[in-house]
Structure 1
């Protein structure tokens, strides 16, 4: 999706999911460490027991009282709690309804798309931003981690 493309999401429900992954704290606008976090995650992801499929997720959450900061989780869904690789932890996501946007291109185009979603699409929609998580990036077989290009889905929790 080009950054000047029409914002036309689909609405999809998602069941509750248990994720296993790494988490790091970032400040808005200072996200340079995320590619290194993905590299570190990818080196250990095959040690995650009981993964559900081969989809990777970048999940943004925040902590109350930490304005301008967010937590970024690099994760995979797992079928249940099990032994985790060193430096990994669990994150439980509730069942939610999401607006799902598609980005086709290099990962560097994701941040401008997210900016447009929150500044253009969400205020003009009939929805409000839902609570936890703040946003999910979904990387499936259409994405090539070696080139950092392909299709990435951006899932924004929504409420009526």
Structure 2
């Protein structure tokens, strides 16, 4: 297990794109991950330094974030997104759901940590532990069920 890191924020962003219904082919997932990673990386970079140093950090953060986001976006396939949504829908609070993708060998464990209602829709705070390409990480987030029954990551 690792602690909260910028990679975790990128993974949460990529998960949001995946659960929002990106296509099953690598193109849309990779593009979505690149966009989200770039935006989040730039936002993180903007928190470093001051003056022109902040600008440089923002640009570097956006480039690094876009690269990481594209890689993680490629890693979650349709099965992984479906298993994540299934965990949001059916797992009791505190009960982990885990799986290994048989094609990619990536490992996932989703644990809902709190369930509540927002605007009449159920929402789940969760922890997701991932092992993608041999790199472990932990993501914290919130997902809410949409009117069409799908789950969307809110943060």
Return the TM-score normalized by structure 1: 0.30
Structure of higher RCO (CA pairs closer than 8 Å, 6+ residues apart): 1
Return the TM-score normalized by structure 2: 0.30
Greater percentage in helix: 2
Greater percentage in strand: 1
